[in-house]
Protein backbone atom coordinates (compact mmCIF):
# COMPACT_ATOMS: atom_id res chain seq x y z
CA UNK A 1 0.00 0.00 0.00
CA UNK A 2 2.82 2.40 0.87
CA UNK A 3 4.46 1.88 -2.52
CA UNK A 4 1.15 2.56 -4.29
CA UNK A 5 0.59 5.75 -2.30
CA UNK A 6 4.15 6.92 -2.92
CA UNK A 7 3.70 6.26 -6.64
CA UNK A 8 0.43 8.19 -6.73
CA UNK A 9 1.67 11.18 -4.76
CA UNK A 10 5.32 11.49 -5.78
CA UNK A 11 5.51 9.91 -9.22
CA UNK A 12 1.94 10.55 -10.40
CA UNK A 13 1.56 6.85 -11.31
CA UNK A 14 -1.98 5.49 -11.17
CA UNK A 15 -2.59 2.42 -9.01
CA UNK A 16 -5.32 -0.14 -8.59
CA UNK A 17 -7.65 -0.14 -5.60
CA UNK A 18 -6.27 -1.84 -2.50
CA UNK A 19 -8.32 -4.53 -0.77
CA UNK A 20 -8.07 -4.77 3.00
CA UNK A 21 -8.72 -8.28 4.23
CA UNK A 22 -10.76 -8.52 7.41
CA UNK A 23 -9.83 -12.21 7.56
CA UNK A 24 -6.41 -11.29 8.96
CA UNK A 25 -7.99 -9.41 11.85
CA UNK A 26 -10.36 -12.30 12.57
CA UNK A 27 -7.39 -14.68 12.80
CA UNK A 28 -5.65 -12.23 15.14
CA UNK A 29 -8.74 -12.01 17.37
CA UNK A 30 -9.09 -15.80 17.48
CA UNK A 31 -5.41 -16.22 18.43
CA UNK A 32 -5.73 -13.69 21.26
CA UNK A 33 -8.90 -15.34 22.56
CA UNK A 34 -7.16 -18.72 22.56
CA UNK A 35 -3.97 -17.44 24.20
CA UNK A 36 -5.38 -15.13 26.88
CA UNK A 37 -7.20 -17.63 29.17
CA UNK A 38 -4.09 -19.81 29.51
CA UNK A 39 -1.87 -17.07 30.88
CA UNK A 40 -2.49 -14.92 33.93
CA UNK A 41 -0.73 -12.15 35.73
CA UNK A 42 0.14 -8.57 34.92
CA UNK A 43 3.28 -9.58 32.97
CA UNK A 44 1.17 -11.25 30.28
CA UNK A 45 -1.57 -8.63 30.38
CA UNK A 46 0.97 -5.90 29.62
CA UNK A 47 2.25 -7.92 26.64
CA UNK A 48 -1.30 -8.46 25.40
CA UNK A 49 -2.04 -4.74 25.68
CA UNK A 50 1.14 -3.84 23.79
CA UNK A 51 0.35 -6.29 20.99
CA UNK A 52 -3.23 -5.04 20.79
CA UNK A 53 -2.21 -1.39 20.56
CA UNK A 54 0.30 -2.06 17.79
CA UNK A 55 -2.19 -4.20 15.87
CA UNK A 56 -4.88 -1.54 16.11
CA UNK A 57 -2.45 1.14 14.90
CA UNK A 58 -1.50 -1.02 11.92
CA UNK A 59 -5.17 -1.63 11.16
CA UNK A 60 -5.93 2.10 11.38
CA UNK A 61 -2.99 2.98 9.12
CA UNK A 62 -4.06 0.40 6.54
CA UNK A 63 -7.59 1.79 6.46
CA UNK A 64 -6.38 5.40 6.22
CA UNK A 65 -4.01 4.42 3.42
CA UNK A 66 -6.91 2.84 1.56
CA UNK A 67 -8.93 6.05 1.97
CA UNK A 68 -6.02 8.11 0.60
CA UNK A 69 -5.69 5.76 -2.36
CA UNK A 70 -9.42 6.05 -3.09
CA UNK A 71 -9.35 9.84 -2.78
CA UNK A 72 -6.35 10.11 -5.07
CA UNK A 73 -7.98 7.92 -7.70
CA UNK A 74 -11.16 9.97 -7.48
CA UNK A 75 -9.16 13.19 -7.93
CA UNK A 76 -7.33 11.69 -10.94
CA UNK A 77 -10.64 10.73 -12.55
CA UNK A 78 -12.03 14.25 -12.07
CA UNK A 79 -8.87 15.78 -13.59
CA UNK A 80 -9.29 13.64 -16.71
CA UNK A 81 -12.82 14.95 -17.22
pLDDT of residue 70: 79
Taking the C-alpha atoms of residue 76 and residue 28, their distance in angstroms, rounded to an integer, is 35
Q: What is the pLDDT of residues 45-76, one digit of tens each?
A: 787 888 888 888 888 888 888 888 778 776 66
In this prediction the pTM is 0.56
Q: Count Cβ atoms below 10 Å from residue 8 Cβ, excluding itself.
A: 19
38 confidence band (pLDDT: 50, 70, 90): confident
**What distance in Å separates the CA atoms of residue 33 and residue 38, rounded to the nearest whole number?**
10
Amino acid sequence: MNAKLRGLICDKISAEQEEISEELWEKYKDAIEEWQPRLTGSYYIHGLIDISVVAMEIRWLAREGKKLLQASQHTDQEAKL
